[in-house]
Structure 1
Amino acid sequence: MATSTPHPRADKDSVQAGPISLGIDIGGTKIEGVAIDGDEHLLACRRTPTRQGNQAVHDDTVTLIRHLLDQVGPNQGPITVGLGIPGRVDANRGMVDDAVNLGIRHMALGPAVAKTTGLPVRVENDVNVAALGAASQAGNTLTAPGTTPHSASARNQARRPASEPGRDGPRALPDQDNHVVAFINLGTGLAAGIIRGGRIEHGASGAIGEIGHISVDAHQFPCKCGQRGCLETVASGSAVEALWPGFAHPLPDLIARASQGNQRAQRVEDIIGHGIALAVQIVALTIDPAIIILGGGMSKTGQPLLDLVTEHLHRSAACSHFIASLNLPDRLRLATADLPIGAIGAALAGRMAADSRPFDFIGKEIAS
């Protein structure tokens, strides 16, 4: 059953005069959608369970778009749609391949939804839109080490001053023209999304950020990709489930039992903590982002996860002046758990369907 969250701004008797951006985050268990206006105010939210197959994904996406527009009410401004979906995505053509958890082998998702709705549509990989949504919050709601969510210190540590827009238009985090934010998605798998200057980086083949399949771990656990020792086997939700099985929420349980002195839990926690810290170091040394955001399902563990990763980063820094000089714990942030960052990022990405400029964050917060 679909659920919606009405917003006081979404008044059927009022007419929205500005642009409306719709974002749809298509996941393996649910499809979540939002509508935001030109000032990044959240106008509407809605979610529905995921059904598998090309036709079902198309139909459910279109239905969600129509529900969001109905919640927003009459609109006189332009409307854009952004879709985030797992798998290999050709963002320029709106094509999706190998979204296996959705039963999609090949699908022209963007053109199909655009044809049905008559709206401009852009399709991006789900990690990329989550990265964009998280990056849009980098000046406001992310949790920094040693803080709690939404505290004044968390906001102050994450916030950077906005500069005047340059000749190419405003940028995502405008204190640097080439400001980089990395988002590490700690979900069933492990991958990273890179936002540079307000834009999603795709690379030559769309494989940028697939750090989960870098084979560097000494345990040499087998990976589904066919290799051994992939980072994903020690730094993902599936890794925790494999190494600490039998719990509905294995990572919180693992951390709790390790803190109580359970030696097996401590050994597994050490493997997971080292693996995630290694992922952070790889991202830092290859991309050198100003901010590294931890997100995905594992991030719902909250501050204990951030503390665990920070501890392992400090361990590396203790034996390496070079690593210490990178100040990695100071760059680390935890994605906020109470905002649909994937859908928000999809909405922001959708603007690229009608506008080629960088995304305009300017330290704004998605207002609810």
Structure 2
Amino acid sequence: MRIGLDIGGTKTDAVALAPDGRELARVRRPSGFGADEVVASADEAVREAVRRAGIGLADVTSVGVGIPGVVEVSTGRVRHAVNLGVADLNLAELLSRRLGAAVLVENDVKAASLGAWHLLGLSGSAALLNVGTGLSAGIVANGRVWRGPRGTAGEIGHVPVDPTGLDCSCGQVGCLETLASGSAIARRWTTDAALPAVDLFDRADAGDDAAIRVRDVFVDGVAQAVRMLVLSVDPETIVVGGGLSALGGRLQDRMREVFDRWAEASAFLASLDLPGRTRLLPSGTPVAAVGAAMLGSVPAFA
């Protein structure tokens, strides 16, 4: 039995997987804020998932955790998970001590990429482009996560694309994340709406010229991210996930328009079939939790 946790800024999802990969139980609870609360919430989520699956902690072979921030995979230490109030946390050791089970920790987007690969029945190589508050990607080849020697594989959000653009939180200027992310929309589109991206697309659909300009910059940025992944890594499938993938067909249709425009101007880009290789992650798919659960059975590339 494997347990997977997806610890986000506001909620923690937990899944219990049978040895054959079937989901036996799913739990959602608040993540808490600060190191102590994050560990306690993770502990409670695991125990609740175990209870709902009708098993005991002794039946759990491993607990995998996907969490934002900089993760030292070899030790399970997490740093700079700012949305959780975590500066430096030895998560694997503390949680393992509580549960009496092996705990493996991975960056949440990398864990989600592994979950997408399994849940969507993908093969070969794939990338999960996570379009949320920020922008990053997880890359999987033949069911194994590619991290890179320093764990930065897939951090395409911090590739500068506009030397005259906006300052990025990473300290550079004009990064792709400043065009294609929730934070980019918030900076460029002033609104009191609870969901700025939805409001932006609604206004653009209604013909608001300012909204159309901001929407088009955002969509073009997401399309650039897909193109960058294809040209640098050449995955067979690019899955667009993250909070803003909930825009659904409105995002996918606009991205296709961008791809088609590029293909008309470049036979080379047309040959890459960007539209055919790109798909949206179905809403509600627990890819990060499932991917975290798979960490105990799948080694990662260096």
TM-score after normalising by structure 1: 0.78
**Is 1:320 matched with 2:302?**
no
CA distance in 2, matches of 1:218, 1:307: 29
CA distance in 2, matches of 1:31, 1:282: 31
Matches within 5 A, 1:128-143: 128-139=110-121
- The equivalent of 2:285 in structure 1 is 339
- The equivalent of 2:233 in structure 1 is 287
- Check 1:269–1:224 CA distance in 2 against 1; reply closer, same or farther (3 A cut): same
- The equivalent of 2:203 in structure 1 is 257
Please report how far the alpha carbon of residue 197 of structure 1 lies from its aligned counterpart in structure 2 after TM superposition: 1.3
- The equivalent of 2:10 in structure 1 is 29
**Is 1:297 matched with 2:243?**
yes
CA distance in 2, matches of 1:287, 1:319: 23
SS at match of 1:34: strand
CA contact (8 A) 2:60 2:101 kept: no
**Is 1:89 matched with 2:71?**
yes
CA distance in 1, matches of 2:285, 2:176: 28
Match of 1:189 among 134, 148, 159: 134
CA distance in 2, matches of 1:59, 1:297: 25
CA contact (8 A) 1:295 1:335 kept: yes
For these two proteins, the number of residue pairs brought into alignment is 299
CA distance in 1, matches of 2:130, 2:60: 32
Please report how far the alpha carbon of residue 259 of structure 1 lies from its aligned counterpart in structure 2 after TM superposition: 2.6
Name the stretch that deviates more: 275-284 or 113-122. Answer: 113-122
CA distance in 2, matches of 1:194, 1:357: 11
Greater helix proportion: 2
CA contact (8 A) 2:163 2:173 kept: no
- Check 1:99–1:357 CA distance in 2 against 1; reply closer, same or farther (3 A cut): closer
Deviating 4+ runs (over 4 angstroms): 75-78
What does the per-residue CA deviation read over 1:190-214, in whole Å, with 9 as the maximum and x for residues that have no partner?
Answer: 0000001101111011111111111
Match of 2:52 among 71, 93, 103: 71
- The equivalent of 2:101 in structure 1 is 119
Structure 2: 5+ residue stretches without partners? none
CA distance in 2, matches of 1:240, 1:264: 12
Please report how far the alpha carbon of residue 219 of structure 1 lies from its aligned counterpart in structure 2 after TM superposition: 5.5
Name the aligned partner's letter for residue 91 of structure 1: V
Which of 1 and 2 has greater Rg?
1
Output the aligned Cα RMSD: 1.7
- The equivalent of 2:42 in structure 1 is 61
CA contact (8 A) 1:25 1:33 kept: yes
CA contact (8 A) 1:83 1:350 kept: no
Match of 2:213 among 250, 260, 267: 267
What does the per-residue CA deviation read over 1:251-301, in whole Å, with 9 as the maximum and x for residues that have no partner?
Answer: 233223223322111111111111111111111100000000000000011
CA contact (8 A) 2:145 2:300 kept: no
- The equivalent of 1:221 in structure 2 is 166
Please report how far the alpha carbon of residue 335 of structure 1 lies from its aligned counterpart in structure 2 after TM superposition: 0.6
CA distance in 2, matches of 1:129, 1:328: 24
CA contact (8 A) 2:3 2:60 kept: no
CA contact (8 A) 1:82 1:351 kept: no
Match of 1:50 among 18, 28, 31: 31
Structure 1: 5+ residue stretches without partners? 1-19, 140-171, 174-178, 359-368
TM-score after normalising by structure 2: 0.94
Please report how far the alpha carbon of residue 77 of structure 1 lies from its aligned counterpart in structure 2 after TM superposition: 5.0
